[in-house]
Structure 1
Amino acid sequence: MKIGVPTEIKNNESRVSITPAGVYELTKQKHEVFVQSNAGYASGFTNQDYQNAGASILESIEDVYQVAETIVKVKEPIEEEYSLIQENQLLFTYFHFASSLQLTEAMLKAKATCIAYETVQDEDGSLPLLTPMSEVAGRMATQQGAKFLEKPIKGKGILLGGVPGVSPGKVLVLGAGVVGVQAAKMAAGLGAHVTILDINMKRLRYVNDVMPSHVVTEFSNEYNIRKHIKTADLIIGAVLIAGAKAPKLITRDMLKEMTPGTVMVDVAVDQGGCFETTKPTTHENPIYIIDDVVHYCVTNMPGAVPYTSTLALTNVTFPYVMQLANLGWEKACQENKSLAKGLSMVQGDVICPEVKKAFPELLN
Structure 2
Amino acid sequence: MAHKSRRAEGSNLAFLDIMSCGLGAVILVFMLVKQNIADAPAEIDNLKQDISTLEQARDEAQQNLAELRARLKKENVDLAAMGRDFKQQRDDLEGKKTALQQATSELDALKETITQIPAPTKEDLVESQQINEENYLLGLKVEGDKIAILVDVSASMTHEKLIDIIKTKSGSQQGKLAAEKWLRTRRVVEWLLARLPKTSQVVVIAYSEDARQLGGKGWMTAKASNTVSSIINELKTIVPEGATNLQKGLNVAKSFAPSNYYVITDGLPTKGESRYKSLNPFSSCGSLTGTAKTISGECRKRLFKQTVSESGPKSAQVDIVLLPLEGDPEAAYEYWLWASSTQGLVISPASNWP
The TM-score bracket by the shorter chain reads: under 0.3
Quick check: which one's helix share is greater?
2
Q: Choose between structure 1 and 2 for higher RCO, CA contacts under 8 A separated by at least 6 residues.
A: 1
Quick check: which one's strand share is greater?
1
